[in-house]
Structure 1
Amino acid sequence: MVSSQFSGMSVAGMCKPLLFPVNDPGTVTTDHIEMDFSDVFGPLTVEVNNIDNPSFDSVDESSELVYDDPEVIFARSHSLVGPSNCVSQSLKLSKLTIHESDSDNLLELVESVTEEAIEDIKEVINEESLNDEDRSLVEIERVSIDDFEVLKVVGQGAFAKVYQVRKKGTSEIYAMKVMRKDKIMEKNHAEYMKAEREILTKIEHPFVVQLRYSFQTKYRLYLVLDFVNGGHLFFQLYHQGLFREDLARIYAAEIVSAVSHLHSKGIMHRDLKPENILMDVDGHVMLTDFGLAKQFEESTRSNSMCGTLEYMAPEIILGKGHDKAADWWSVGVLLFEMLTGKPPFCGGNREKIQQKIVKDKIKLPGYLSSEAHALLKGLLQKEAPKRLGCGAKGISEIKGHKWFKPINWKKLDAREIEPSFRPEVAGKYCVANFEKRWTDMPVVDSPAASPNGGNPFKDFSYVRPTASFLQNNSPAC
């Protein structure tokens, strides 16, 4: 993902100060707020309460409690992938969590790249090309790590780092996801990585981040995507506290539109959460991170244990097999968190959270409208066949819900409905809306070992045809 003439260019001076300052997890202050967004966001939280609040203990199925004191949650689980077989009813998942261990001997990315670049590009890139259907659309373009200049780190996960990069000779800015093959092979997750690349080549939607290029070297895989620099939805939730219903409605509608498009293409996302939703300069949300996504058939169910615990549907936790209905549960959790500042089932250890998801009744805040209550109840229905969006009418059950009555779905998909909030973005180089723990990182990477076994990533290279969006039909409704 880097050029051999690595620059490490700093862009700190190019961004204006954030409207809401970045703080250490644990407290949120209101110092230096320049504008009042109280008509858009809920009340700012001055201090983070214990997430094990007694008011969130298990409730009886016959009662429905409400709470009026919203608080923002900062601690959460990481995405995980478990075994393909069904899990036991003991609900113990602690051994399935993925952790990334950084080497003590960090090398500058340019040092590890220079050794492999020329050999790998000749060996891998030259033997791969575009699919046959793409040849008629555009002249074949080949890309490699030498075509990009690394600017900043903007994210980090279990197998990957994400960098802000510039394509050399242009002013085009991208996000480059770099994955180590040795780590992928160690965890036996090659199929997930191949599926992510394959799925991204099939998606074209106004609220989904687009894959522009993919390629590989001997040691790493590279996905080059649109750079969306309004920050993650979680970043904005962290600073704003919670969203008013009118704003949350637009975000939720855009997410629903994106997820329904995925389902129409036979794709489940399976890891919907605020960290996997970006916000662009115009305030629209963009779905990203398809590392756990899977292609499916309507008549089949998946038994993989995957996702992020607070957003997992009950059927995933119980190992009963799941289908696209699990995504609609996650959308319900997302909406609940946008409106209240925390997921509906959280607090305590992993096993306690699982028990809450499977057994506890949702507790609806009294300050939400009755229409929001109804939608949340429908999406957070524990029995998948009864869940909103999973009946005979499909997605129209959600789009036609009374809470979404103000939404014109055609205008929404045309990006003609403008959110009432836009993140502070000072130009396309600005990284102010990403967490400082990432953007302050030196642009380094751990030295990678040779992956064991052969190379399972044949035909990984891809260049998106520039005319493809114009030739596609409009997104499925």
Structure 2
Amino acid sequence: MCHQDIMLPHGTNTMQFIDLQLLELAGECHSTIKSGMVSTNDFLKLDKKLEKLRYETRSAYSPPVRKPQMSDFVKIKNLSSGDFGSVELVRHKKTSKCFAMKLVKQKRLNIPIDVQEVFLERDILTFAENPFITSLACSFETDMYLVLVMDYVEGLDCDFQLDVLERFPVDMARLYVAETVMAVKYLHRLGIVHRDLTPKNMLISATGHIKLTDFGISKIGPVNITTERHQECLIDIVREFTDEEMRGTPVYMAPEVILEKDYGKPIDWWALGIILYEFLFGYTPFPARCMEGVFLRVTTEELTWPERELDVTDDAKDLIFSLLKKNPMERLGTRGAHEVKNHPFFQNLDMNNLLSEVPLYIPQLEYGDTCSENVGESEVDVPSVDEDEEKEDNISFSYLAFRFRKAYDSPTPIKQSHSSQLNLNEGNIQESAESLNEEDDTTSSGENFEDAVEYLDDEDDMTFDEGKVEKAAEILHEEEVMPHNEGNVKEATEILPHGTYSMWCIYLQLLELAGECHSTIQSGMVSTNDFLKLEEKLEKLRYEICGAYEAQKTGQRVVESKT
């Protein structure tokens, strides 16, 4: 089937998310190669992740076969309303699952700027895989609305809970802020600045943990591939965006935003400092009767502490003081999220395993994961377009999340490829094994990695510094937000002593694909053909991975039979 090549004005952000995921997968391959223990499970996990990435790549240029629509849901109750539209609690008829449906009025969107923000919010919710960030089930458009269907977090938000308790115990504030730090760390690594971190956007889930939401005014810049920043690049970090927009919730705005200066990721760390102060003391540090008064105090006054004695520790005060530096160059977190993550305030928490921490508060649920029928339900009310009102152009906004695709019978089969770039048959598997054994090395050496970089540098179509890509992949893998606690999983799977060669070839191809994505992003012109070609290459790579572990097992059996 031929696809007409169409320029996708909102495709650059999607391509950037795919580029990052390719680098992360390459980092995982790199780590596996260095371990010297390649198992069938490694190939199977990689195949599963590539299946999801291929699905998301296809969704970027081709809408689902069966598009989601309003009639698939029934309304339970309204959650919030505003000029932009509303958020409704809905039940999906087929699965009976509860979702939060955000309806954004198209007539309120100032095309193309506002539309781009909605597309970015959709992409963030789609590609972000973090336990402390809400995720998307599907999206679609109607004559009047752009619709985002997200996970429903039934617990209260921190703002409501703060009104009830007046202020949080130190341990409760510590856990909530720690989980938000890990969410912000993950977003910044994707190049995303939230821009509206507030207690209201920190939801408390059914298990008592934080879920960050509302990416309606978020911005995306370059992906961060380093954990630490040097002085010469700090200016680029704090002046990443030059639009001088003063947007967000006033009491959480950083001084540089209020003064309409260039800004960047440090504005999120400022907001987190305000939030921690409010959690511990019950009010924000620069209160005033009007918004102008707040702005004046934020930009001119120094931070002060309440006179009354409270059980706020010195390390908590130090963290707040470090986050609320008016100069973003001096603000904690500007050089990387590790600065905040490693602060003594969090020393009693396992920051890489926060879900194992026992929360002090578990919300009481009214609905749970699924909604029973006939609980004040009605069809979702979507007004028809008035005859006098101009109908908005049809915007292709439909998307089905990989995890939700089965609800719409949208399988993603792998086509059988007749060619294989790896050409993994029994003969060359044995030959590769003998070659590796002759070198007495089942792990990759430094020389091999230098050869790989030189190989990538020789490719004419790679326009960026491939020497940094390998390091980027390694860093991204090491900086995984919530690493899987698999234990000694390889003991329960079949070790492939000569699987390093196959994993190495896959690693190189992932780096090449990331390089191609990067070049496309730099061109600033992303089309349907770019996603189509990438999907075909990912499909081919999946086929080769399947062949890799099958051939490895066959080759191992041949060697065992000879001995």
| TM-score of the alignment, normalized to the shorter chain, above 0.5 | yes
Q: Percent identity?
A: 33
Q: Does the Cα contact within 8 Å between 2:75 and 2:379 map onto a contact in 1?
A: no
User: CA offset at residue 452 of structure 1?
Assistant: 5.4
Deviations 1:321-374 (A, max 9, x none): 100000000011111111111111122212111001101111223421111110
Residues 413-452 of structure 1: matches in 2 within 5 Å? 415-428=355-368
Partner residue in 2 for 1:172: 97
Q: Does the Cα contact within 8 Å between 2:126 and 2:401 map onto a contact in 1?
A: yes
User: CA offset at residue 133 of structure 1?
Assistant: 4.4
CA change 1:226–1:195 in 2 (3 A) is same
User: CA offset at residue 301 of structure 1?
Assistant: 2.2
Q: Does the Cα contact within 8 Å between 2:89 and 2:98 map onto a contact in 1?
A: yes
Q: Does the Cα contact within 8 Å between 2:91 and 2:98 map onto a contact in 1?
A: yes
What secondary structure does 2:179 align onto? helix
Q: Does the Cα contact within 8 Å between 1:310 and 1:343 map onto a contact in 2?
A: yes
Q: Does the Cα contact within 8 Å between 2:59 and 2:399 map onto a contact in 1?
A: no
What secondary structure does 1:384 align onto? coil
Partner residue in 2 for 1:21: none
Deviations 1:264-311 (A, max 9, x none): 001000001011111111111100010011101374324222111000
Question: Using the alignment, how far apart are the partners of 2:382 and 2:302 within structure 1?
Answer: 45
Deviates more, 1:193-202 or 1:231-240: 193-202
In structure 2, what residue type is equivalent to 1:476?
Answer: V
Of 221, 231, 235, the match for 1:296: 221
Residues 155-166 of structure 1: matches in 2 within 5 Å? 155-166=80-91
User: CA offset at residue 238 of structure 1?
Assistant: 1.1
CA change 1:443–1:132 in 2 (3 A) is closer
**Where do 5+ consecutive residues of structure 1 fail to align?**
1-128, 432-438
For the pair 1:353 / 2:290, whether they are aligned, the reply is: no
Partner residue in 1 for 2:275: 334
Q: CA RMSD in A?
A: 3.1
User: CA offset at residue 411 of structure 1?
Assistant: 1.3
Partner residue in 1 for 2:434: none
Question: Using the alignment, how far apart are the partners of 2:65 and 2:143 within structure 1?
Answer: 23
Of 62, 73, 77, the match for 1:148: 73
CA change 1:158–1:259 in 2 (3 A) is farther
Of 318, 322, 335, the match for 1:374: 318
CA change 1:178–1:354 in 2 (3 A) is same
Partner residue in 1 for 2:332: 388
Structure holding more helix per residue: 2
User: CA offset at residue 467 of structure 1?
Assistant: 8.7
In structure 2, what residue type is equivalent to 1:404?
Answer: F
Compute the TM-score of the two structures, normalised by the length of structure 2: 0.54
Question: Using the alignment, how far apart are the partners of 2:389 and 2:324 within structure 1?
Answer: 42
User: CA offset at residue 196 of structure 1?
Assistant: 1.4
Q: Does the Cα contact within 8 Å between 2:143 and 2:385 map onto a contact in 1?
A: no
How many residues end up aligned between the 2 structures?
A: 331
**Where do 5+ consecutive residues of structure 2 fail to align?**
1-53, 225-235, 406-475, 483-563
Question: Using the alignment, how far apart are the partners of 1:403 and 1:131 within structure 2?
Answer: 39
Q: Does the Cα contact within 8 Å between 1:130 and 1:140 map onto a contact in 2?
A: no
Deviates more, 1:193-202 or 1:401-410: 193-202
Deviations 1:419-451 (A, max 9, x none): 1111122342799xxxxxxx9x99867765587
Deviations 1:213-232 (A, max 9, x none): 00001111100000001111
Compute the TM-score of the two structures, normalised by the length of structure 1: 0.64
In structure 2, what residue type is equivalent to 1:463?
Answer: L
Partner residue in 2 for 1:228: 153
In structure 2, what residue type is equivalent to 1:465?
Answer: F
Deviations 1:357-412 (A, max 9, x none): 10111122342111111000001111001000113xx1111111111111101211
Partner residue in 1 for 2:197: 272
What secondary structure does 1:154 align onto? strand
Question: Using the alignment, how far apart are the partners of 2:154 and 2:104 within structure 1?
Answer: 21
Question: Using the alignment, how far apart are the partners of 2:112 and 2:283 within structure 1?
Answer: 31
User: CA offset at residue 148 of structure 1?
Assistant: 0.5
For the pair 1:461 / 2:401, whether they are aligned, the reply is: no
In structure 2, what residue type is equivalent to 1:190?
Answer: V
Partner residue in 2 for 1:408: 350
What secondary structure does 1:321 align onto? coil
Partner residue in 1 for 2:252: 311
Q: Does the Cα contact within 8 Å between 2:70 and 2:380 map onto a contact in 1?
A: no
Q: Does the Cα contact within 8 Å between 2:192 and 2:221 map onto a contact in 1?
A: yes
CA change 1:453–1:383 in 2 (3 A) is farther
Runs of 4+ in 1 over 6 A off after TM superposition: none
Residues 25-424 of structure 1: matches in 2 within 5 Å? 131-133=56-58, 141-185=66-110, 189-297=114-222, 299=236, 300-302=240-242, 303-365=244-306, 366-367=309-310, 368-391=312-335, 394-412=336-354, 415-424=355-364
CA change 1:294–1:420 in 2 (3 A) is same
The higher radius of gyration belongs to: 2
User: CA offset at residue 453 of structure 1?
Assistant: 8.1
What secondary structure does 1:409 align onto? coil
In structure 1, what residue type is equivalent to 2:481?
Answer: A
Q: Does the Cα contact within 8 Å between 2:80 and 2:87 map onto a contact in 1?
A: yes
What secondary structure does 2:329 align onto? helix
